[in-house]
Chain A
């Protein structure tokens, strides 16, 4: 059974650019959540997808958007990158929205 995998592991982008991060959920999991973790802070909830629909969103602007595909893999898209978007982006999958979430290793995004 494979765990949650994210790609790429590291990424450097220029302010104003757009980025797409990818996540493959754990086998059998239909729920994917995305989190942003700044250095020295706990992860902050961006949004959650359940069976291909967004069913919850944290306090992030609309330039953060996502998709979940029929195989339950997911993408996080960020437009008009800002310096403050530099962080570790974490994807987590779960059997359903109310059970424990299992995290991937994260994508380290640096915006310069």
Chain B
């Protein structure tokens, strides 16, 4: 059974304080790992897709990396508008859908 664990569950940072979010997964035959951002009461917003170990993707203050068992979302010099829940979702194949973790609730204080 596919499993996803995200840590920490919640993280409070000061504006400008860099950190990393972790996503540990067990998926047979990983086809891709997806990162999303979700604001309260809204649908998840797509951030990145990673397909193979060693791959990295960047967007503004965010960088996602992938190993065979983990993915990290690094946030550099965050701003209050980066506050959200960040979800990771590995996929073993399109018809299986995405297996989401519970997410990391990130709060950036000004």
Contacts and interface: CB of A to CB of B under 8 A. Distances in A.
A58 B97 contact: yes
Nearest to B35: A100
A48 B91 CA distance: 13
A48 B89 CA distance: 16
Contacts, number: 72
A43 B89 CA distance: 10
A31 B93 CA distance: 13
B49 to A, nearest CB: 5
Interface stretch (B12-20, B39-47, B61-69, B71-79): B39-47
Contact of A90 (B44, B49, B93, B94): B44
Interface of A: 4, 31, 33, 35, 40-45, 47-48, 50, 55-56, 58, 88, 90, 92, 96-106, 108
